[in-house]
Structure 1
Amino acid sequence: MNSGKPIPVHNLSYQDFQLTTLENGCAENFNDIHRHNFYEILWFLKTQRYSSLEVDFEKYDIVDNQICILSPGQVFNMKLKGEKGYVFAISKEIFQEVCDVEMVLINGVKPFHLPYKVKSTCESLVALMEKEYHDECRMNLLTSYLKAFCIVITGELMSQESISGDKQRVQDLTKLIEEHYLLEKETSFYAEKLNISSHHLNDIVRLGRGTTVKKMIAQRLVLEARRELSFGTCTVKEIAFKLGFNDASYFSRFFKKHMGKSPESFKSEK
């Protein structure tokens, strides 16, 4: 079987952390559909009238002083039109050290706004990062500044209320699904990982998200299928196997159940 061409993956070519500006050259070329194997924080200081970006089939209009956090694996595209701001390309290892990964996975896609008082703090931290990055580039100091920056911006992203036990379990479940959905599609696997019964886990998810664990897994599989069908060149059969389906016809029925059309029809429309 000939392997189809996958969605391009942009890698960090050097260093575990790159800091640049939108106007003076980016850590990557934005002007194509691609994925990252790293985390990326975009801070839009100045935008144009119709500035926007697309992440996983969703188009977001962006305005001045917004931030977007991109996670590895997300399909991303943006046409630069003179926006000004910062780009932080961060390896998985460093990001796990400086930021709350689980919270970002749940809340981090949609661009969010920074209040003026927070913007001022962030500008000071970025100024320190820029100076160190272009001078001695000591990673221990850079990661300290970056951690402070992430603490400030994620404070605006998440609720200031303390996370309840059930909400924490939903966050943990989301992370587990992201890690295991290709191989593990049964609720019992995730319930065991979280040390609770399948029935209890479904109750938590139903109350917190209005859905079930099986549906969350299915939604993640459908999202990945849509990515591959829209932007990759693999056949439907190849995509089915990549997503852990042993039977391509079963994958087609699964996809049609959730999208209302066959994978072939969906792909032909793109």
Structure 2
Amino acid sequence: MLIDIQYLNSSAFEDDFQSPFYQIIMLKEQRNFAVDFTNYICPHYSLVFLSPYQHFDLYDLDSRLIKKLEFHGDFYCIEYHKKEVACNGLLFNNIYLSPFVTVTPALFEEIESIFCKICIEKADDSPFSESVLKSYLQLILALCSKVKSRQLINTHVYQDELTVGLKFQKLLEAFFLIERSVQFYAHELALGLDSFSKKIKRELGKSPSQFIQDRVVLEAKKLLHLTYLSIKEIAAKLGFEDEFYFSRYFKKNVGISPSSFRERVGISIVAK
């Protein structure tokens, strides 16, 4: 099934959970969780967005049911539909933003009702059902992207100048393919190593080394999913000495090999 709705007990997330699907997890109450080993606390009425093979750990396990929608990239390609729903890089695939969006109780209830409609539509044998399901999914993504975008605009309105965190983001985007030492970025920002690391952790919630690693892994996932480049070509493009070193690096951080990731997640219809 390329799209599915599940009602899960918290215990279903007791172990580090990964999936080849994109996932939307509805959390009605405040919850503690980790995505890619970074801890978060989300308020009431939040939705967590996970890309394929992101690590997810839910804490405070209890009997409360959690609603989860998952869909495969072959069913709905977020890159292909980026003009209609700008969720790629906003809800999914952005290492700098929190992986959740908090909405109003009314919107949370509306999204819950769309989840129910998806469950009903899945049972329909109509030849139009797939189109209806995609429309429901697109509506959820569009509603959440709209909220997230507004929240980011409101945050940036009050920033008169670039913070150390924002400067680091710009530097990392420019140099992550060739510079992976924390010392390089600290030097570029004219800061001591310890001071730089503490500022980034305080402003962005993760250490500089974690951001560097996450950015390399994100790029590797993009190249595996959005191109037909061979593993060897991807390794070279990312600056690894050889494909074997790259494969070990990828498996250590993602949990599966690059070839397995490509096989299970698939190659996007926008691949060139």
Unaligned segments of structure 1, at least 5 residues: 1-14, 163-204, 227-240, 252-270
Write out per-residue CA displacement over residues 117-160 of structure 1, whole angstroms, 9 at most, x where no aligned residue: 32233233222212112444822211111111111122111237
How does the TM-score come out when normalised to structure 1?
Answer: 0.51
Match of 1:155 in 2: 146
Instruction: Give the secondary structure class of the aligned counterpart of 1:22.
Output: strand
Amino acid at match of 2:110: T
1:139 to 124, 127, 130: 130
Local SS of the residue matching 1:32: coil
Counterpart of 2:54 in 1: which secondary structure?
A: coil
Amino acid in structure 2 at the alignment position of 1:246:
E
SS at match of 2:13: coil
Cα offset, 1:115, TM superposition = 0.8
Contact 2:5-2:115 within 8 A present in 1 as well: no
- C-alpha distance 75-18 of structure 1, shift in aligned 2 (>3 A): same
| Runs (5+) with no aligned partner, structure 2 | 154-164, 181-208, 218-234, 247-272
Match of 1:114 in 2: 103
8 Å CA contact retained: 1:46, 1:65 = yes
Structure 1 residue aligned with 2:241, among 232, 240, 246? 246
- Give the match's secondary structure for 1:152: helix
Q: Which whole-Å CA distance do the structure 2 matches of 1:68 and 1:84 have between them?
A: 15
Q: Distance in 2 between matches of 1:109 and 1:206?
A: 15
- % of aligned pairs identical? 18
TM-score, length basis structure 2: 0.51
Q: What secondary structure does 1:20 align onto? A: strand
The whole-number CA distance in structure 2 between the counterparts of 1:115 and 1:44 is 12
RMSD across aligned positions (CA): 3.9
Q: In 1, Cα distance between the equivalents of 2:32 and 2:212?
A: 26
Secondary structure class of the residue paired with 1:72: coil
3-state SS of the aligned residue for 1:103?
Answer: coil
Partner of 1:128: 117
The residue type paired with residue 81 of structure 1 is D
Residues of 2 paired with 1:135 and 1:34: CA distance? 30
Q: Is the 8 A contact 1:206 1:212 kept in 2?
A: no
Letter of the 2:171 partner, please give it. T
Q: Equivalent of 1:211, from 167, 171, 179?
A: 171
8 Å Cα contact 2:176/2:216 also seen in 1: no
